[in-house]
Chain A
Amino acid sequence: MSGWTRFLPIALLALIVGALVWRLANPPDTTVQSALIGKPVPEFEAPPALPGKPPLSSAELADGKPKLVNIFASWCLPCIAEAPLLAELSRQGVPIVGIAVRDRPEDLARFLQEHGDPFERIAADPQSKIQLAFGSAGVPETFVVDGRGIIRMQHVGAIEPDDLPRLARAVEAAR
């Protein structure tokens, strides 16, 4: 050990500390994105989530009209926050279908009564099977599916007012 090599360990230490500080200052994005963007929706068929509400299957997602597929649940608090925004999108003429994760009909009915029901169809997903097939990692999540049943976009987390134009545009573009 002579000359500059003497400082090698301290340089190495500085490098490691630098890397740690950088990571602390820039935490990694822990959002789980579905790897199915650009691919067809997984095939599924679900029982009706509510009496009197049409159920949803993958066939209906390829009926020629682009849609928003909202993965939600009555026990999910952010889902309450995004309910008025879904209603707004529905008012703008965006077709919305739902996948109700781990829900009971009576809880779901109460949720829709209290917070509005923008859904044309709702699939019951009592064991998160459809959710897992979509590559979704939580509620709420919203997928844009085009008329041929291809997943175009995924929005992770509750829809915020700022997201409305982007979602409406994505549905328009999927036409």
Chain B
Amino acid sequence: MRPLLVLLCLLAATPALADSTMPPAYWADRQLEDPRKEAQAQALMQEIRCLVCQGQSIADSDAEMAGDMRDLVRTRISQGEKPSEIRAWLVERYGPWVTYRPPSRPVTWPLWLAPLVLLAAGVVIARNRLKGRGRE
């Protein structure tokens, strides 16, 4: 009986207060009227990392801060700012970490080269094996 009671109490518990009581920002969950601009904003929001739920993009996240960042992106796009400018503004503040499109820097070169190296290795291995089989 006792464990059941505890379990029931847990059901009634509210999660810790981690968000404000304010409504979401205006453009957080509202599309821009111009479909071309909305598409631009969407594409950018897919590539900006949510700061509080790291691993999600701000387009995917329900966090309040992600909503405020979507509002920022849509507001600036509607004012005619280019997505690359908004991305640069965020990178200036949070570092290249904030964008899911890593800029090409010496540190990231192995990342870009790895697929090519692996493909080349695969071709070499496949050729050697096929050659060996032909001789048998």
Q: Do A and B come from one complex?
A: yes
A135 touching B22 by the CB < 8 A rule? no
The CA of A30 and the CA of B85, in the complex, are separated in Å by 26
Choice from A75, A129, A133 contacting B20 with Cβ under 8 Å: A75
Q: Does A126 contact B (CB under 8 A)?
A: yes
How many residues of chain A get a CB closer than 8 Å to chain B's CBs? 25
Among listed B34-42, B91-99, B103-111, interface-contacting one: B91-99
A42: nearest chain-B partner, CB-CB: B93
Residues of A within 8 A of B95 (CB): 33, 35
Minimum CB–CB distance for A137 against chain B, Å: 4
Q: Does A157 contact B (CB under 8 A)?
A: no
The CA of A36 and the CA of B22, in the complex, are separated in Å by 28
Among listed A60-68, A102-110, A115-123, A160-168, interface-contacting one: A102-110
A30: nearest chain-B partner, CB-CB: B54
Choice from B19, B52, B54, B71 contacting A75 with Cβ under 8 Å: B19
The CA of A135 and the CA of B51, in the complex, are separated in Å by 10
Q: Using a CB-CB cutoff of 8 Å, which residues 69-120 of chain A contact chain B?
A: 73, 75, 77, 101-104, 107
Q: Does B32 contact A (CB under 8 A)?
A: no
Q: Does B47 contact A (CB under 8 A)?
A: no
The CA of A102 and the CA of B52, in the complex, are separated in Å by 16
Minimum CB–CB distance for A42 against chain B, Å: 8
Choice from A35, A75, A77 contacting B92 with Cβ under 8 Å: A35
B68 touching A132 by the CB < 8 A rule? yes
Residues of A within 8 A of B91 (CB): 35
Q: Does A26 contact B (CB under 8 A)?
A: no
Q: Using a CB-CB cutoff of 8 Å, which residues 27-51 of chain A contact chain B?
A: 30, 32-36, 42
Q: Using a CB-CB cutoff of 8 Å, which residues 39-76 of chain B contact chain A?
A: 51-52, 54, 64-65, 68-69, 71-72
Pull 9 A–B residue pairs with CB atoms less than 8 Å apart, ordered by A. Answer: A77-B16, A102-B20, A103-B22, A104-B21, A104-B22, A127-B71, A128-B25, A132-B68, A137-B94
B interface residue numbers (CB < 8 A to A):
16-22, 25, 51-52, 54, 64-65, 68-69, 71-72, 91-95, 97
